[in-house]
Structure 1
Amino acid sequence: MPPSRLLIYHADLRLKVANLPRASARLDSLVHRNGGYLSAATEVRAEGEWRQAITIRVAPARFQPLMAALGGLGTVEEKKLTTDDVTAQHADVAARLATKRAVEKRYIDLLARARKISEVLEVEGKIGEVREEIESTESHLKTLNDEVAYSIISLTCYQPLPQPVPEAPVVSFASRLVESFYTGWTLITSLLIGIVAIWPFLLLGGTGWWAVRRWRRSVAQAEV
């Protein structure tokens, strides 16, 4: 009979709710009813919404039923499910742990037979190193077992908050009069600056007009 697979289930769920306190109370009831618990929770009011971020742990057998129940708290805006098969990883970590424990036992046997202080110190140093590795591997294995035993649901519930509409500023007659005066003055200064800017064209135009008139006068005198 093949060994059972070791699976880690994880879900990301985002819900829009009409009333966050009411949804939160229903959430607690649903989690408790399905044998789960809340491992973390934060709440914040920002960017036009009242939001709760919650991490739920639940046994794999109740993972899908709880997900379906949570969807009834509001409008599901985002839902992501992932499944990680850690069977091979778990077996590898367990094998490494057994090997390190065997090494520790050999060092302990060597320590019992050591006669010199230098040998004792050397073996004790090796035992300290292998015990650190054993603790690290045990912690890794414990984490895998915990993730397999309790699936993770990362839930975000939020309630939109009404945004205040700023009132239109009241513009007084004096303010409008000052603004009109400033606009007129800006127009006049812009016109003067424009005339100054095109003085070469005015000069060329005047010179050309004078030359044409003089030419026409010369032609008229020649015909007479």
Structure 2
Amino acid sequence: MKYTPGIVLELAALMSSCSHENKQTAERSSVRLESVAMSAPPPMQADEPDKAEMIGPALPTPTAAVVAPARRLIYHADLRVKVDNLPQASRRLDSLVQRNGGYLSAAREIREDDEWRQAMTIRVLPSRFRAIMSALGSLGTVEEKRITTDDVTAQHADISARLATKRVVEQRYIALLARAKKISEVLEVEGKIGEVREEIESTESRLKTLNDEVAYSTISLVCYQALAQPVPDAPIVSFSSRLVESFYTGWTLITSLLIGVVTIWPFLLLGGFALWGVKRWRSRLA
């Protein structure tokens, strides 16, 4: 496969530039805060008194305000609440979520023998996260509560930088494609463009997911109501039933004794022989 020297040099330079930019992207993964100060004017020379007089007295050098980067935090909570009346608590929950500008992203209801519960996933703005967590606790008795906070500022900056780098690489490949003259060169560059665009789409998807998790906090809530188990009533026993039961109990006792006697027949036989031997021994002594 032959390429023109210009295309070959462009491809080599572009691949080297991609490697260098990826290395720079890794170094930019941690967000740093740097103060920026405006440079002071150069000092006046001793042989220029006229310019100094024209300029006038020196003014204080302005300093740029230091702006801290916005922190990107992901809030997540797991909450389990026992309520007395699940339908009533569910209605209160819907109203509570609407007042706080949130929404239910998932819900499931399960009714078993001893428990009736609803499992829900609530998405709410981070500014209303604490308020809605406090309100959810008023639905009933909080049995389990867990809150986690993830700082993804550095991760977000790294993904954004990688995305910008890949887009620059894509534009360079497009420019290189416009200068390709042979079909083999066009196919080679188009293959590279396809790879870069696939990486761009994957990075954009990761960044979109991260932005969604930052924009809306997630609360996994389980509300349940304990269900009382029915206790069967004691049966009413009539006199005839009790009489039949007593007869059956007596008959069972007799048969049990008879079976017991049959079971110990070896001992009865040995006892009879022992008694016969004692009587015979006494008769001889007499």
When the two structures are superposed, what TM-score results if normalisation uses the length of structure 2? 0.64
Q: Is the 8 A contact 2:122 2:220 kept in 1?
A: yes
Cα separation, partners in 2 of 1:121 and 1:212, compared to 1, 3 Å: farther
Instruction: Quote the Cα distance in structure 1 between the aligned partners of 2:244 and 2:200.
Output: 82
Shift of 1:161: 4.2
Letter in 2 for 1:218: R
Which of 164, 167, 179 is equivalent to 2:233? Answer: 167
Equivalent pairs counted in the alignment come to 219
Structure ID, larger Rg: 2
Instruction: Quote the Cα distance in structure 1 between the aligned partners of 2:75 and 2:282.
Output: 100
Which of 32, 36, 39 is equivalent to 2:98? Answer: 32
CA offsets, 1:13-32, max 9 Å, x none?
A: 22233443433333223222
SS at match of 2:71: coil
Larger mean CA deviation between 94-103 and 79-88 belongs to 94-103
Instruction: Quote the Cα distance in structure 2 between the aligned partners of 1:214 and 1:52.
Output: 88
Q: 1:139 — aligned with what?
A: 205
Higher relative contact order (CA 8 A, sep 6+): 1
More helix by share: 1
Cα separation, partners in 2 of 1:114 and 1:169, compared to 1, 3 Å: farther
Which of 265, 270, 276 is equivalent to 1:199? Answer: 265
Cα separation, partners in 2 of 1:217 and 1:133, compared to 1, 3 Å: farther
SS at match of 1:56: strand
Instruction: Quote the Cα distance in structure 2 between the aligned partners of 1:123 and 1:174.
Output: 101
Q: 2:81 — aligned with what?
A: 15
Shift of 1:98: 4.2
CA RMSD of aligned residues (A): 3.0
Shift of 1:138: 2.2
Q: Which runs of 5+ in 2 are unaligned?
A: 1-32, 34-67
Instruction: Quote the Cα distance in structure 1 between the aligned partners of 2:181 and 2:248.
Output: 100
Q: 2:118 — aligned with what?
A: 52
Instruction: Quote the Cα distance in structure 2 between the aligned partners of 1:111 and 1:197.
Output: 104
Q: Which runs of 5+ in 1 are unaligned?
A: none
CA offsets, 1:181-205, max 9 Å, x none?
A: 3333332332222222222211211
Which of 76, 81, 97 is equivalent to 2:142? Answer: 76
More strand by share: 1
